[in-house]
Chains A and B, each alone.
Chain A
Amino acid sequence: MVLLTSILVLAATVLSIPLVERVLGRNTGWFAAAVLAALTALIAAQAPQVLGSDEALTYSVPWMPQIGVEFHLRMDALGWLFTLLVTGVGALIMAYSTRYFPPGRRLGFYFLMTLFAFSMTGLVLADDVVLLYVFWELTTIASFYLIGLSGPGASRPAIRTFLITAVGGLALLGAAVLLVVRTGTTQLSAILADQTWTQDSTFTVLVTLLVVVAVFTKSAQFPFHYWLPDAMAASTPVSAYLHAAAMVKAGIYLAMRFTSAFGEVFLWNAALITFGLITAVIGAVFALQQHDLKRLAAYSTVSQLGFLIAVIGVGTPEALVAAAAHTVAHALFKSALFMVVGLVDHEAGTRDLRDLGGLARRMPVTAAIATLAALSMAGIPPLLGFVSKEYLFAGLLGASGGPWAGILAGAVAVGAAAFTFAYSFRFVHSAFFGEPRGERRAAQENVHEAPAAFWLPAALSALGGVVLGLAVPVLDPLVNGVAQDTTGTAADAHLLLWHGFNPELAMSAAAIALGVLLVWRTASGESYAGRSLLPVDGPSVFERIHGATIRAGRRVGDLTRTDAIAFHLGAPIVMTIVLAAAVLWIGIDLPAPAGQTSRPLDWLLVGLMGVAVLGAALTRSRLAALALIGVAGFTTALWLFFLGAFDVALTQLLVEVLTVVVAVLVLRRLPRTFHPVTRKRSVLTALIAIASGLVAGTAAFAFTGRRELSSAADYFLGNAPEDTGGDNVVNTILVDYRAFDTLGELVVLGVAGLIIIAVLRNSDLLPVHKARKPEVPVTNPVFESAPNTVLMRTVAKFLLPILVIWSLYLLARGHNEPGGGFIGGLVGGSAFALTYLAASSDAAARIRLAYPAIIGSGVLVALGSGLLGFFEGSFLLPLHAEIPLPGGDYYHFTTALIFDVGVYLAVVGVLLAALNELGLENGGTARPATPPSPPGTSEGEFPDDTAPSLEGTGATAVGVDTTTTGGAR
Chain B
Amino acid sequence: MTLAVTIAIMVAGGVYLMLQRGMVRIVLGLLLLGHAVNLLIMSAGGTFRRDQPLLGINPPDWAADPLPQAFVLTAIVIAFSIVIYMLTLAASGSDDDTEDAS
- Least Cβ–Cβ distance between A719 and chain B, in angstroms: 10
Produce 1/0 per residue, B9-49, CB < 8 A to A.
Answer: 11111011111111011111001100110111011111111
CB neighbours (8 Å) of A564 from chain B are 98-99
- Least Cβ–Cβ distance between B80 and chain A, in angstroms: 5
User: B88–A730 contact, CB under 8 A?
Assistant: no
From the candidates A617, A676, A729, A742, name the one contacting B66 in the complex (CB within 8 A).
A729
- Least Cβ–Cβ distance between A433 and chain B, in angstroms: 73
Cα distance, A479 to B9, chains bound together (Å) = 81
User: A749–B77 contact, CB under 8 A?
Assistant: yes
Is the CB of A582 closer than 8 A to any CB of chain B?
A: no
User: A697–B4 contact, CB under 8 A?
Assistant: yes
CB neighbours (8 Å) of A647 from chain B are 69, 73
Inter-chain pairs besides A701-B4, A760-B92, 4 sampled, C-beta below 8 Å: A598-B47, A613-B9, A659-B84, A727-B54
User: B1–A701 contact, CB under 8 A?
Assistant: yes
Produce 1/0 per residue, A892-932, CB < 8 A to B.
Answer: 00000000000000010010001001100001000000000
Is the CB of A658 closer than 8 A to any CB of chain B?
A: yes
Contact status of A822 and B73, CB under 8 A, knowing A646-B52, A910-B81: yes
A652-669 residues at the B interface, CB under 8 angstroms: 652, 655, 658-659, 662-663, 666-667, 669
Contact status of A569 and B13, CB under 8 A, knowing A636-B35, A670-B24: no
The 8 closest A-B pairs by CB, nearest first: A697-B8, A693-B12, A595-B48, A613-B13, A602-B2, A689-B16, A752-B81, A644-B64
User: B32–A616 contact, CB under 8 A?
Assistant: yes
- Least Cβ–Cβ distance between B70 and chain A, in angstroms: 4
- Least Cβ–Cβ distance between B68 and chain A, in angstroms: 8
User: B80–A670 contact, CB under 8 A?
Assistant: no
- Least Cβ–Cβ distance between A916 and chain B, in angstroms: 12
Produce 1/0 per residue, A595-616, CB < 8 A to B.
Answer: 1111100110110011001101
User: B2–A599 contact, CB under 8 A?
Assistant: yes
Cα distance, A923 to B87, chains bound together (Å) = 13
CB neighbours (8 Å) of B84 from chain A are 659, 662, 752, 756, 910, 914, 918
CB neighbours (8 Å) of A738 from chain B are 70
User: B93–A749 contact, CB under 8 A?
Assistant: no
From A330-338, A447-455, A489-497, A708-716, the one touching the partner chain is A708-716
Cα distance, A728 to B55, chains bound together (Å) = 6
CB neighbours (8 Å) of B100 from chain A are 563
From A241-249, A368-376, A761-769, the one touching the partner chain is A761-769
Specify the main secondary structure of chain A where it touches its partner.
Answer: helix
User: A692–B24 contact, CB under 8 A?
Assistant: no
From the candidates B18, B46, B70, name the one contacting A733 in the complex (CB within 8 A).
B70
Closest residue of chain B to A914 (Cβ to Cβ) is: B84
Contact status of A666 and B87, CB under 8 A, knowing A644-B49, A689-B15, A704-B46: yes
Cα distance, A749 to B75, chains bound together (Å) = 11
CB neighbours (8 Å) of B6 from chain A are 602, 605-606, 609, 639
Cα distance, A694 to B15, chains bound together (Å) = 12
Cα distance, A617 to B18, chains bound together (Å) = 10
Contact status of A745 and B49, CB under 8 A, knowing A689-B19, A759-B92: no
From A39-47, A166-174, A625-633, A844-852, the one touching the partner chain is A625-633
Contact status of A709 and B8, CB under 8 A, knowing A636-B39, A651-B77: no
Contact status of A677 and B63, CB under 8 A, knowing A602-B2, A642-B50: no
From the candidates A596, A629, A675, name the one contacting B31 in the complex (CB within 8 A).
A629
Contact status of A704 and B44, CB under 8 A, knowing A648-B72, A730-B73, A741-B74: yes
User: A907–B19 contact, CB under 8 A?
Assistant: no
User: B80–A655 contact, CB under 8 A?
Assistant: yes
User: B42–A645 contact, CB under 8 A?
Assistant: yes
- Least Cβ–Cβ distance between A903 and chain B, in angstroms: 9
Produce 1/0 per residue, A717-754, CB < 8 A to B.
Answer: 11011000001111001100010011001001100110
Cα distance, A734 to B20, chains bound together (Å) = 36
B88-102 residues at the A interface, CB under 8 angstroms: 88-100, 102
Cα distance, A690 to B80, chains bound together (Å) = 26
- Least Cβ–Cβ distance between A791 and chain B, in angstroms: 28
Is the CB of A782 closer than 8 A to any CB of chain B?
A: no
Is the CB of A622 closer than 8 A to any CB of chain B?
A: yes
User: B28–A613 contact, CB under 8 A?
Assistant: no
CB neighbours (8 Å) of B73 from chain A are 647-648, 651, 730, 734, 822
- Least Cβ–Cβ distance between A670 and chain B, in angstroms: 6
CB neighbours (8 Å) of A917 from chain B are 88
User: B7–A697 contact, CB under 8 A?
Assistant: yes
Cα distance, A593 to B73, chains bound together (Å) = 26
Q: List 21 A-B contacts (CB under 8 A).
A: A573-B15, A595-B49, A609-B10, A617-B16, A636-B10, A644-B50, A646-B54, A666-B91, A674-B20, A689-B19, A693-B11, A697-B9, A720-B66, A733-B66, A733-B67, A733-B69, A745-B74, A765-B91, A818-B54, A910-B84, A917-B88
Is the CB of A190 closer than 8 A to any CB of chain B?
A: no
